């Protein structure tokens, strides 16, 4: 009597010559199926690399003509053609990535003036650019230091001028008890270590002319076409000056008088 028992199911199967684990009963989720397909791809790629092209082609053709054993559940129903399609698509993506990397490397070398076959030229070009960058940074740092030093001197001049507020205007006086306009400007900058001429005409030519809109604390503001009056700019449109006989040193707007016309602004330092 023939046995009623069926032959035990194989513990695994082969796809494209690759041994795969036996099915687990059809309880796989789509994510698990995708993971299994990825594992099959990795196994297929490893096995393919160890075989020659003719042998690989013959093996795939022999398997393509047979029914796939990987049909245990609906989720696992991926036949040999689908596996080969995934394999081909991934290889194409890898090849495209390789071509892109080579192209990027070539462009990078060309941008630095070198080529793959001439790394010394590329190195020289890079070193030249680095030297240029260092020189620019050095000049920028030196310029910033000069500006900071000049600003520090200007703050000292303004502080000195402000400390004289309330002292009387006296023609020809340059302190310490009284001042005329140019005497105050001269004394203020002397306190900062900068020597200025005694009169307004000389002071108007003893520095760099700047627009009123760019005036900074410490700059000298000259009035009238004959530059007969000067004040020390304090910032925010204000200045400290000795206005005229009978008045006192005070801080007020650079537009303090309708008859006054700002002639120029000079930066001593």
> Looking at residue 109, what is its pLDDT?
54
Given the residues 98, 181, 224, 263, select the one marked as catalytic.
181
Tell me if residue 42 falls in helix, strand or coil: helix
Check pLDDT > 60 for residue 170.
yes
In the predicted model, what is the mean pLDDT of the chain? 77
pTM score: 0.53
Phi-psi region of 8 (alpha: psi -120 to 50; beta: other; left: phi over 0): beta
Residue 214 pairs with which residues in a beta bridge? none
181 is catalytic: yes
pLDDT of residue 3: 46
224 is catalytic: no
Position 124 scores a pLDDT of 85
pLDDT band for position 43 (cuts 50, 70, 90): low
3-state SS assignment for residue 232: strand
* Beta carbons within 10 angstroms of residue 127's beta carbon: 11
Are 202 and 182 spatial neighbours (Cβ–Cβ below 8 Å)?
Answer: no
Name which of 75-89, 188-202, 231-245 the model is least confident about: 75-89
Percent of the chain's residues with pLDDT above 90 = 43
Contact (Cβ atoms closer than 8 angstroms) between residue 213 and residue 148 = no
Listed range (34-38, 94-98, 139-143, 230-234) with the worst mean pLDDT = 34-38
Beta bridge partners of 80: none
Average pLDDT over residues 118-131: 83
pLDDT tier at 245, thresholds 50, 70, 90: very high
Q: What is the pLDDT of residue 232?
A: 98
Residue 66: C-alpha distances to residues 14, 59, 70, 83, 143 (Å): 11, 11, 12, 14, 81
Q: Report residue 251 as tokens.
A: 């801080």
Q: Which of 5, 224, 241, 255 is catalytic?
A: 241
Find the catalytic residue in 5, 98, 229, 255.
229
Per the CB < 8 A criterion, the answer to whether 86 and 40 are in contact is: no
Q: Is 75 among the catalytic positions?
A: no
User: pLDDT tens across 47-94, in order?
Assistant: 545 554 555 555 545 545 554 444 444 444 455 666 667 777 777 777
Average pLDDT over residues 211-237: 96
Question: What distance in Å separates the CA atoms of residue 57 and residue 261, rounded to the nearest whole number?
Answer: 96
Find the mean pLDDT for residues 109-137.
Answer: 74
């Amino acid at each position: 009597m023939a046995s009623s028992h069926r032959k035990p199911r194989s513990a695994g199967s082969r796809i494209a010559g690759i041994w795969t684990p036996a099915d687990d009963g059809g309880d796989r989720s789509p994510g698990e199926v995708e993971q299994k397909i990825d594992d099959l791809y990795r196994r297929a790629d490893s096995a393919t690399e160890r075989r020659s092209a003719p042998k690989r082609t013959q093996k795939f053709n022999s398997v393509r003509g047979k029914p796939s054993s990987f049909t245990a559940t609906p989720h696992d129903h991926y036949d040999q053609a689908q596996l080969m399609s995934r394999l081909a698509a991934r290889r194409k993506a890898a090849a495209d990535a390789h071509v892109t990397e080579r192209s990027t490397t070539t462009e990078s070398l060309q941008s630095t003036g070198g080529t793959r076959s001439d790394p010394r030229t590329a190195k020289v070009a890079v070193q030249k650019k680095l030297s240029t960058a260092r020189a620019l940074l050095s000049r920028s740092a030196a310029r910033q230091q000069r500006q900071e030093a000049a600003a520090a001197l200007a703050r000292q001049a303004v502080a000195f001028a402000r400390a004289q507020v309330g002292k009387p205007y006296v023609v020809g006086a340059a302190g310490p008890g009284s001042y005329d306009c140019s005497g105050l400007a001269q004394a203020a900058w002397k306190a900062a270590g900068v020597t200025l001429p005694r009169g307004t005409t000389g002071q108007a030519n003893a520095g760099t002319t700047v627009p009123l809109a760019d005036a900074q604390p410490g700059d000298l503001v000259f009035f009238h076409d004959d530059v007969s009056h000067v004040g020390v700019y304090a910032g925010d449109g204000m200045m400290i000056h000795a206005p005229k006989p009978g008045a006192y040193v005070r801080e007020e707007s650079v537009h303090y008088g309708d008859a006054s016309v700002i002639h120029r602004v000079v930066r001593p330092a």
